[in-house]
Amino acid sequence: MVIIVNIHDAKTHLSKLLDRMLAGEDIVIAKAGEPIARLTPVESRLPRTPGIAKGRVTDAFFEPLPEDELKAWES
């Protein structure tokens, strides 16, 4: 079920709306009756693993780029 709230109510009850969204409800914010935004949870990211590229970065990585490639990046 979609819950539609106007901007004023969304500002007033943001914490409650976030709790409802986290509980699985679909919350839409409207302005003058027209939907303009949807509250959705941020997907969790996998934790970063230090050293994941160890041994894969060679000295060639630090070499200057060829002139034609440098010019392509400047365009």
Is the pTM for the entire model greater than 0.85? Answer: no
Q: Where are the domains of the chain?
A: 2-39
Please check whether the domain covering 2-39 is classified as CATH 1.10.10.10: no
Count the neighbouring beta carbons within 10 Å of the beta carbon of residue 21.
16
pLDDT at 1: 81
pLDDT at 19: 96
Please answer whether residues 29 and 2 qualify as being in contact, where contact means their C-beta atoms are separated by less than 8 angstroms: no
Asked whether the predicted pLDDT for residue 45 surpasses 90, the reply is: no
Asked whether the predicted pLDDT for residue 52 surpasses 90, the reply is: no
CA dihedral for 49, 54, 56, 57, sign (positive or negative)? positive
- Please calculate the CA angle 11-17-22 and round it to the nearest 5 degrees: 140
